[in-house]
Amino acid sequence: MTHNAKAIMIQGTASNAGKSFLTAGLCRIFKQDGYRTAPFKSQNMALNSYITKDGLEMGRAQVMQAEAAGIDPRVEMNPILLKPTSQVGSQVIVNGEVLGNMSARDYFAYKKQLIPQVEQAFRKLSEDFDIIVIEGAGSPAEINLKGCDIVNMGMAKIAKAPVLLAGDIDRGGVFASLYGTVKLLEEEEQQRIKGFLINKFRGDVEILRPGLKMIEEKTGIPVVGVIPMTPLDLDDEDSLSERLSHKDAQGMIDIAVIRLPHISNFTDFNVFERMEGVSLRYVRHVKELGKPDLIFLPGTKNTMVDLRWMRECGLETAVVRQAEMRTPVVGICGGYQMLGERLEDPEDVEQGGAMRGMGLLNAITVFEPVKTRTQINGCVIREEDVQGSTTGKDVRGYEIHMGRTSNLGRCQETIRLEDGRLDGLCNEAGTVFGTYLHGIFDFGDLAALLVGRLMRKKGMDPGNWHFDPEVHKQQEYDKLADLVRSSLDMDKIYEILEEGITC
């Protein structure tokens, strides 16, 4: 007999209303209560992506939610991923594979053809889990888009899922947002909304109660939770992240990330924000760079365009000058490609043609049309020239790139992958390093070793200083579950889940 999971859906009155956060919280609660639980989002637009164990690409938000649920990420949790390549176009990824690049208009006309893929992915999850927590996107009341919606009420209809509608009270106007969203929906869609969630609340909830009562009377929909504004350290969604606005150096160790226009997978650096005494900041202008202890060049969806941007705004010169003063510079994926002598694009994968690199590594990158997608382990093979050697240290990460970087002769190879390939190069001085591995600092104590090395360089004694990113992450998921459980009427949530929707 086919197993059919119960489903519940979180939609929002706007982007950044907390849908991803609330979805993860419910996933964790249901896991704690003994249910096999999975997240689902039919269509995600993000430059933060992840590679599953079987080499398929999906959005990071559903990876975070899967971690909260205590399960391995599967591509069925995010069957459609849109990775913006410009203001009006995206790379379209379906079931983890690149379908191609489309303009917004072309994708809008095409996406109905993807409904069978969405239905199949949801059905597969439904057969393997007890509960599926579905996340919507943006707002369900975008009246110009509702006709071919596959991610909000359209998805709720496919899944026969009751909906909880979340509003962000911190922005102001939450009651108008909730009421307006409901009234812009069709009657059948309104009937799917079984509860309101007031998110990011500051202050005394007793003062809020008259408003809760009035919105319930005006809509006939109960408020099932008010969630306080509480700082939690979770991987968040793409450019909406407040992390990217961090510009001040306040810790003993100052790490600067170049905020490229097409920055991707900035979650690679989140672990450093979690470390006591470390400040991680994102830099867009030369005047913001200062004299950091470490500079990261992150991944990017457009390596050549973003390198040109760095060149034009003066950041390339500033980073090279810092490297010449032996400030460590680390590039990941696109940032790694920039570090070399030259980038060549003979098949027009990016912009076509060739351009000079930053010249910090004696290497060349040639772009290729086939995307490398692997989740892989390896080990460090290079002896470091300062205390805290990482030689023999196991590493883990995932590759998402279109191009091959080759050593021209004056670089040292640094990582041997389990499939025999070599990844990563560093300069002769050991101060400039590049790798294709995303997530390399999320595993083990590699990040802690790096920070310890920076501390020693500044004359500090790290002593027994240690940080375990996995332990920290699990603690944060439990804090999230505690917050959501204490803020929601969980008896009502389970009642909504059990009753479901029949149409």
Instruction: Provide the annotated active-site residues.
Output: 333, 438
d(CA 469, CA 438): 15
Nearest to 399 by CA among 301, 303, 332: 332
Per-position DSSP letters for 29-58, written without gaps between them = HHHHTT--EEEE-SEEE-S-EEE-TTS-EE
Show the CA angle centred on residue 322, arms to residues 319 and 325, nearest 5°.
Answer: 155
Instruction: Check residue 255 and report its DSSP letter.
Output: E
CB atoms within 10 A of CB 222: 15
Q: Are 268 and 436 in contact (CB under 8 A)?
A: no
- Contacts of residue 43, defined as CB under 8 A and 6 or more positions apart, other chains included, come to 79, 80, 81, 82, 111, 118, 137, 150, 151
d(CA 256, CA 239): 17
Q: Are 195 and 165 in contact (CB under 8 A)?
A: yes
d(CA 221, CA 165): 10
**Strand extents, DSSP E, 52-96:** 57-59, 80-86, 89-94
Alpha helices in 148-186 (DSSP H): 153-159, 174-183
- The two most distant CA atoms of the chain are separated, in Å, by 73
Phi first, then psi: what are they for 17, rounded to 5°? -80, -5
d(CA 81, CA 42): 8
Distance from the Cα of residue 343 to its chain's centroid? 27
